[in-house]
């Protein structure tokens, strides 16, 4: 397996762990000095794991890979992100409503692990579809 295949495989493992809400597995896929950027903040794993847990517990977020491109130590992914308001999510009570948006993430690998990750999604559309009040 070449490094591009290994990088794509690592990102697929990230998606599988994210969809299961497996925070221990997610932590194992990242370097100790990883930095994660997203619409809800950025920082090391100690800062973002609670955000990811809230996404899983509050809105049952699930990612479906639509397209993945790898070059060098980088992987870019376009997803369909779906979920449903099933629990309290950052102060919003559950509505039972579902959402579907396009999301994109960009990864940089180091030492066969994820070193950096940037995520972009239309969180305003997500909130509207879930029935949350405008922030």
> What are the residue ranges in the chain where pLDDT is below 50?
none
For residue 130, the model assigns a pLDDT of 97
For residue 40, the model assigns a pLDDT of 82
Domains of the chain, CATH where assigned: 3-130 (3.10.450.50)
CA distance 13 to 66: 15
Name the phi and psi angles at 50, rounded to 5. Answer: -60, -35
For residue 134, the model assigns a pLDDT of 80
For residue 63, the model assigns a pLDDT of 98
For residue 1, the model assigns a pLDDT of 62
**How does strand 113-121 pair with strand 30-38?**
parallel
């Amino acid at each position: 397996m070449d490094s591009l295949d290994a990088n794509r495989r690592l990102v697929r493992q990230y998606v599988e762990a994210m969809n299961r809400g497996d925070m221990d597995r997610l932590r194992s896929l990242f370097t100790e000095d990883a930095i994660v950027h997203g619409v809800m903040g950025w920082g090391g794993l100690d800062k973002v794991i609670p955000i990811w847990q809230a996404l899983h517990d509050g809105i049952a977020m699930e990612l479906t890979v639509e397209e993945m491109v790898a070059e060098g130590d980088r992987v870019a992914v376009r997803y369909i992100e779906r979920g449903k308001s099933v629990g309290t999510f950052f102060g919003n009570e559950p509505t039972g409503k579902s959402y579907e948006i396009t999301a994109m993430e960009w990864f940089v690998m180091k030492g066969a692990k994820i070193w950096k990750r940037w995520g972009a999604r239309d969180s305003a559309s997500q909130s509207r579809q879930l029935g949350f009040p405008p922030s």
